[in-house]
Amino acid sequence: MHWFDRRMAGFRRKADVWGRAGSGILFYCEKDGTVLLLLRSGRVMDPGIWGIPGGAVKGTEGFYDEDDAGADFSEAELYGSAVEETNEEMGFVPNGDVVGKATTEKGNFVYTTFVVRVDEATKSDVESKIKLNWENDDYEWFRIDRLPPDTHPGVVAAVSQFMKSESDKARNNAVWWHGDTSKRTSFHGQIMDRPSGDSRNALGPGIYFTTNFNQAVGYSGPGGWVYGAKINSDRFFDDNTKPTAEFLRRLINKLPKEKRNIGLSNWDENPDRALSLAAKAYAGEPTMLAAVVAVRNDFFNDSNEWTSAMVKCGYDGFIHHLGLGTTHLMVYNPDVIQITSEKSYESLTPSHG
Are 287 and 297 a contacting pair, CB within 8 Å? Answer: no
Q: Which residue has the higher pLDDT, 199 or 164?
A: 164
Residues 240 and 336 in one domain: yes
Residues 167 and 180 in one domain: no
pTM over 0.85? The answer is: no
Residues 192 and 321 in one domain: yes
Residues 49 and 119 in one domain: yes
pLDDT digits (tens, 9 = 90+) for 206-264: 999 999 999 999 989 899 999 999 999 989 999 889 999 999 999 999 999 999 999 99
- Average pLDDT over all residues of the chain: 88
Residues 82 and 55 in one domain: yes
Residue 191 pLDDT exceeds 80: no
Q: Which of 171, 195, 225 is the last residue of a domain?
A: 171
E strand or H helix that includes residue 302: none
CATH number of the domain encompassing residue 164: 3.90.79.10
Q: Which of 113, 146, 171 is the last residue of a domain?
A: 171
Q: Which of 130, 151, 171 is the last residue of a domain?
A: 171
> What pLDDT score was predicted for residue 312?
97
> What pLDDT score was predicted for residue 195?
54
Beta strand 109-118 pairing with 22-29 = parallel
Domain residues for 226? 175-353
Residues 61 and 107 in one domain: yes
Lowest mean pLDDT among 117-121, 143-147, 152-156, 345-349: 345-349
> What pLDDT score was predicted for residue 165?
84
pLDDT digits (tens, 9 = 90+) for 162-180: 988 887 787 888 899 999 9
* Domains identified in the chain, total number: 2
Residues 194 and 155 in one domain: no
Residues 186 and 51 in one domain: no
- Distance CA(330)–CA(210), nearest Å, equals 9
E strand or H helix that includes residue 102: strand 97-106
